[in-house]
A and B are shown apart, each in its own frame.
Chain A
Amino acid sequence: MRILRLLWVGWKFHVKSLTLSAFFILTSILQPIIFASVAYFMFRTGAREGTLLYVALGAGMMGIWSSTLFGSGGAIQWQRWQGTLEYCIAVPPPFLLVILPLTLATATIGLYSLTATLVWGWLFFDVPLEVADPLAFAVALPVAVVGLGLLGLILASTFVMYRNANALSNLLEYPVWLVTGLLVSLSLMPGWVGPISWVLAPTWGVNALREAAIAGNPWPEIGMCLALGAVYLVIGHFALQHFERLARERATLSLT
């Protein structure tokens, strides 16, 4: 109970904090427009398969991923800069329970990006917004967000330790778009990409959304996304513990 409360309060706190940032508002208005346009033109030129909605969903998930990546990594960097990291670490609950609400919040914020992409697509490019299986879609959506948030958790743990982990998040933006099939269908990618994409929860999350949209069976994907998420949770817990300790040894929690 206590744990759920802490996650809930922390999530609300961080969502509020993130939505009040000017940088965030700017990127979440501009990015979806760009993504929606890219997706649309790629669809037109035949570079992508599936329906227009299928494509738009992928584009929207790219937004979620960017927001998670910059959100979880950047948020820790920002907290270090702001001086709040030192206050968040020396609290009684395990560090996981401090960071998880933050990465879930950034993934949630990304949800806005997905919605905006779809709405832009609908407004300007006539992307049909009919979802074949609304119930499954409604389940798949939070599951996809949780999957992303948990992947963000693992990323976040490295940011706790390294003061210059920004480079890493820049590095990871495009590869993950590609590898998870957000940008281009996986069938167009070289064979070795497949196994990598299978261990990334967002792959299953976006597939679940697509299945739900086109009346397929999204439940196995939903299950996979959750299962991988659980694995991430365990890895993230230990990674955070490890990096927190390292950060206390090497004094990287503050700027001074």
Chain B
Amino acid sequence: MAVVEAIDLHRTYRTSTGTFRRKWKDVEAVRGVSFEIGEGELFGLLGPNGAGKTTTIKMLITLLIPTSGTARVLGHDVVKDAREVRKSIGYVFGGERGVYERLSGYDNLRYFAELYGVPPKRIRPRIDELLELVGLRGREQERAEGYSRGMKQRLHIARGLLHDPPVVFLDEPTIGLDPIGARELRATVASLAQAGKTILLTTHYMFEADALCDRIAVINRGQIVAEGTPTDLKQRVADGTVVEVEVFGVPEGTVKRVRGLSGVLSVSVEEREQAQVIIVQTRADVELTQGILGTLDGANVGRISRREPTLEDAYVALVAEQ
């Protein structure tokens, strides 16, 4: 049985502008999203900013009511049986907001332990376990306002796990963490998956999704555009090659001209310190390096390399197709 089921979820936001003559505008944030997550699966939801990832998660964790469609967690409807759903899930939004700043980390956890009905005798040991897990041991008596961003984020993880929920939702849990902190957090997520928890994770870091997720859905403008294992997704562009050209000052119109070359699947430009890198995915059977250089109008070119596609390339291709 699927632990998390989303069936044709839609969500529209109404926003207004102007104070006196209000104009209402509807934003269709999620437009027909369906997926299933099996027991013990680590499912990744990837997509550009504003794609509808957070909105989808908020519907699943009962914070938003879907405009239409249904969703179930462990068989409980997220609208009708919200209470049952809430008992069995933990959720964490990335970022530092959402802690009671004036109180200590310990007080924060203590309060939520009560809200989640952790048995009184278990509260202290459970908090100690979690402080150990997220590496906040020894800092728990300090006021949370003095915590660094990463510490607050780890406090959130601990809070989300207090009642040992079988299903966990993590919305960009590693955002803003330093590389070591992010790595530790990935290890924590992996160990949760190991322990048999069902996890939905969103992230903007493709290597993270590649390393952690059993299955991935790519969402763009409120719709799922691809779904599969990381390997599946890479295979979609696997019969291609990636050419990266370092350029010092990309001439105007280059991207358009490169896109016009036959055999090009997608083009993106990445800013580096001194230069930009044009990343071109091409079909495997064409050799486009010369063609690409030809579009550059004699701009100063640095390193040129060819490589196998990564999950990030697959993602860029999928999102660019739209």
Contact = CB atoms under 8 A, between A and B. Distances in A.
Decide whether A and B are members of one complex.
yes
Interface of A: 2, 5-6, 9-10, 13, 16-17, 20-21, 82-84, 86-93, 98, 245, 248-251, 253
B61 interface: yes
A245 B64 CA distance: 9
A3 to B, nearest CB: 11
A84 B110 CA distance: 15
Interface of B: 13-14, 61-65, 82-83, 86-87, 91, 93, 95, 97-103, 107, 110-112, 114-117, 120, 143, 159
A251 B100 CA distance: 22
B63 A248 contact: yes
24 contacts: A5-B114, A6-B115, A9-B114, A10-B111, A10-B115, A13-B100, A13-B110, A16-B107, A17-B103, A82-B99, A83-B98, A84-B98, A86-B63, A87-B112, A88-B115, A90-B86, A90-B91, A91-B86, A91-B112, A91-B115, A92-B86, A245-B65, A248-B64, A251-B13
B76 to A, nearest CB: 12
Q: Which of A16, A249, A251 has the most CB of B within 10 A?
A: A251
Contacts, number: 76
A196 to B, nearest CB: 32
Contact of B99 (A10, A84, A91): A84
A90 B61 contact: yes
Contacts of A245: 65
B63 A89 contact: yes
Contacts of A93: 115, 117
Contact of B63 (A16, A82, A84, A90): A90
Contact of A20 (B83, B93, B102): B102
Given A5-B120, A90-B91, A250-B14, A82 B114 contact: no
A86 B13 contact: no
A245 B65 CA distance: 8
Contact of B64 (A9, A16, A87, A251): A251
A13 B64 contact: no
Contacts of B117: 2, 92-93
A9 B99 CA distance: 17
A13 B107 contact: yes
Contact of B62 (A9, A10, A87, A90): A90
B102 A21 contact: yes
A161 to B, nearest CB: 14
Given A98-B115, A248-B63, A87 B120 contact: no
Closest 5 CB pairs between A and B? A83-B97, A83-B98, A20-B102, A91-B115, A9-B114
A86 B98 contact: yes
A98 B86 CA distance: 14
Contacts of A13: 100, 103, 107, 110-111
